[in-house]
Amino acid sequence: MGDGMKGIVDCNSFYCSCERLFRPDLRERPVVVLSNNDGCIISRTDEAKALGVDMAVPYYQCRDVMERHRVAVFSSNYHLYGDMSMRVMDTLRHVMDDADGRSGRVEVYSVDEAFLDLSHLPAHALRDFSLHLRHTVEGWTGIRVSVGVAPTKLLSKLANRLAKKDKRKTDCIVVLNTEEALQEALSRTAVADIWGIGRRYAARLREQYGIETAWQLRQMPEEWARRHLGGVVGVRLIRELRGEASITMKDPLDIKKTIATTRMFGRPVFDLEPLREAVATYVARAAEKLRRQGSAASSIGVFAVTSGDGPGQYDYDPRSDHRCAVLPIPTSVTHELMRHALPLVDQLFHLGRRYLKAGVILGGLVPDDPVQGNLFASQAPDLRHRMLMQAIDNLNVSMRDDMVKYLASGLTRNWKMRQEKRSQRYTTRWQEIVEVG
C-alpha cells in the first residue's frame, strides 16, 4: 500500500501559532484570534479549547470567560499570517524537492494546509520522512504542524485529524499504510468528520441509513452513493475511503482567471461617498494584483451587501446587490478601472440602507502585453500609464500602507475594518520588527 501515498501537512492552530511565535510569554497561556471586525473566534489553542471556548462563537458571548482565565485575544493580522504561510509552504517545497530532485509534489490547499505527493517513498520510510518534514518546518519557521499520510487525499485528511486529536500519543503524525490501520482509523471517525460531508448530511446518513462511522460508509455500494450521496461526487468519496485515489493532485494556479477584493466595513455605511471610497480602494488593490500577474481585465463587477433599512434596526438579514460593466479595452490601469467602477456604485446605492460589505471583481483576464485593441475605441492605451502604475506599485511595495493612493479612496477611511487587538506585523514592517534587549 506504499505506492501512490498522499500526505497533508496542517499547521496547528495556525493564526494562534503565528501570534505565539513572537510572544514567548504566551507559550502556556490560552490564545484566540478573532475574525474580521473582531466578530467571532476563528482560531484557538488547545488551552482555549479546554476552557470551553468554541469556534465561530461571537466574541462578546465568551468575553467574561476569557477575561477571567487571562486568554490572550488578537485581531486577525493577515500580513503576518500570509507571510508565515509563504515561509511554511516554501519550506515544504524545499524538503520535497530535496527528497528526489523533482518539483511539483506540493499542492497548497489553504493558508495553513498543503497536500504532498509521497509516491516516491517506500511504505517503511513514510513515518520517518513525515517526522523529518515536521521537524524541518518547525525548526525553520517556528510553526508546529501535524502530518497525515494515507493512500488518498481524503484518507490523508482523516489521518491528519487523528494526528491532531491526540498529539501526545501520535507525535502529530499518523500514517495509514496498512488495511488494519485504515480500518481502525475509519471506525474511530464519525461520519460527520469526513472531509466533504457536512453536519446536515451526516445527520441524514445516521437517521435514514444508520451510518455512524466512516467505516460503515466505506461499505456502501457505489450505485447507492450515486443515488444518495451526490452522484459522481459521492462515488469519488466512497472510492477515496476504499483507498482508490479519485481526487488528483493539482498544479498550482499561478495565473488567476478572476481577481476579487472584498472587505467587511468596520462600521455600517449609510452614505454614498464612503461606499465610493471603499470601492475605489478595493479597485486599487485588485489592480495591483492584476499587474503583479501581468494581466489586464476585460470586465469589472461591483457588489455591496446590505442588512436592514435604517440606523435603528439591528436585524441581520444580508442581501447582495451587484452591477457589472464590460470594458472597451482590457486594462490594468487603476484610474481606468475606477472610471468604470464608480458609476456602478452610484447605480446600486439606495439611500437609507445599511451597507456592511463591498467588493470588486475583475474578470475576462487576458495577458497585459500585448492587449487586443478596439477598432471603435476613441483612444488607444497610453504606455505612459504603465510607467505610472509601475512607479506607484514600486513605492507602495517598498514604503507599504498605500503610501501613494488616489484621492477617490478617501483620506480618513472611517469605514475600514476594525482591528483593535491586532499585533505587530513583525515580518513585513521594519518599524514593527521585534526588539530584543
Shared-domain flag, residues 202 and 105:
no
Q: Per DSSP, what are the bridge partners of residue 43?
A: 33
Q: How many helices (H) and strands (E) does the chain have?
A: 15, 13
Quick check: is 421 in a domain?
A: no
> 184 exposed, middle or buried (CB, 10 Å; 0-12, 13-18, 19+)?
middle
| Distances 300 to 274, 282, 287, 343, 348 between C-alpha atoms, Å | 20, 12, 11, 11, 14
Shared-domain flag, residues 274 and 358:
yes
Give the DSSP H or E segment for 236. Answer: helix 232-241
Has this prediction a pTM greater than 0.75?
yes
Interval 367-391 mean pLDDT: 69
Mean pLDDT of the chain: 88
pLDDT tens for each residue of 45-92: 999 999 999 998 999 899 999 999 999 999 999 889 999 999 999 999
Is-cis flag, bond preceding 311, omega within 30?
no
d(CA 99, CA 352): 61
CATH number at residue 210: 1.10.150.20
Shared-domain flag, residues 386 and 359:
yes
Interval 391-409 mean pLDDT: 83
Please enumerate, as own/partner, the contacts of 34-39 that have beta carbons within 8 Å and a separation of 24 or more. 34/59, 34/73, 34/74, 34/75, 34/76, 34/421, 35/76, 36/76, 36/263, 36/264, 36/417, 37/264, 37/265, 37/266, 37/417, 37/418, 38/75, 38/418, 38/419, 38/420, 38/421
Last residue of a domain, one of 252, 273, 293: 252
CATH number at residue 121: 3.30.70.270
pLDDT number for residue 270? 92
- What SS3 class is residue 321? strand
Q: Which residues of 59-87 are buried (b: 16+ CB within 10 A; e: fewer)?
A: beebeeebeeeebbbbbbbbbbbeebbee
Quick check: is 209 in a domain?
A: yes
E strands in 20-152:
31-34, 41-44, 72-74, 106-110, 113-117, 145-150
Quick check: is 420 in a domain?
A: no
Quick check: is 169 in a domain?
A: yes
Residue 386 confidence class, pLDDT cut points 50, 70, 90: confident
The total number of structural domains in the chain stands at 3
pLDDT number for residue 332? 93
Shared-domain flag, residues 164 and 26:
yes
pLDDT number for residue 308? 65
Interval 390-416 mean pLDDT: 83
Shared-domain flag, residues 88 and 49:
yes
Shared-domain flag, residues 149 and 56:
yes
For residue 378, pLDDT beyond 60: no
Quick check: is 70 in a domain?
A: yes
Quick check: is 433 in a domain?
A: no
Shared-domain flag, residues 102 and 218:
no
pLDDT number for residue 189? 95
Within 143-231, residue ranges assigned H as helices are: 153-165, 167-170, 179-188, 199-209, 214-218, 222-228
pLDDT number for residue 2? 42
Least confident of 1-15, 40-54, 143-157: 1-15
Last residue of a domain, one of 220, 252, 284: 252
CB-CB contact of 143 with 11 (8 Å): yes
Residue 297 confidence class, pLDDT cut points 50, 70, 90: very high
pLDDT tens for each residue of 147-189: 999 999 999 999 999 999 888 888 999 999 999 999 999 999 9
Q: Per DSSP, what are the bridge partners of residue 363?
A: 299
Shared-domain flag, residues 165 and 200:
no
pLDDT tens for each residue of 243-274: 999 888 776 656 788 999 998 898 889 999 99
DSSP 204-225: HHHHHH---BHHHHHTS-HHHH
Shared-domain flag, residues 266 and 239:
no
CB-CB contact of 84 with 18 (8 Å): yes
Least confident of 116-130, 171-185, 366-380: 366-380
Determine the structural domain holding residue 248 and report its residue range.
Answer: 189-252
pLDDT number for residue 371? 54
Instruction: Quote the percentage of the chain above a pLDDT of 90.
Output: 64
CATH number at residue 273: 3.30.1490.100
Residue 101 confidence class, pLDDT cut points 50, 70, 90: low
Nearest C-alpha neighbor of 4 from the set 238, 194, 244: 244
pLDDT number for residue 179? 93
Shared-domain flag, residues 112 and 139:
yes
d(CA 33, CA 24): 17
Last residue of a domain, one of 138, 173, 208: 173
> 24 exposed, middle or buried (CB, 10 Å; 0-12, 13-18, 19+)?
exposed
Shared-domain flag, residues 123 and 239:
no
Residue 376 confidence class, pLDDT cut points 50, 70, 90: low
Shared-domain flag, residues 160 and 212:
no
CB-CB contact of 10 with 159 (8 Å): no
Quick check: is 201 in a domain?
A: yes
Quick check: is 428 in a domain?
A: no
Q: What angle do CA 280, 285, 289 make, to 5 degrees?
A: 140
pLDDT number for residue 1? 45
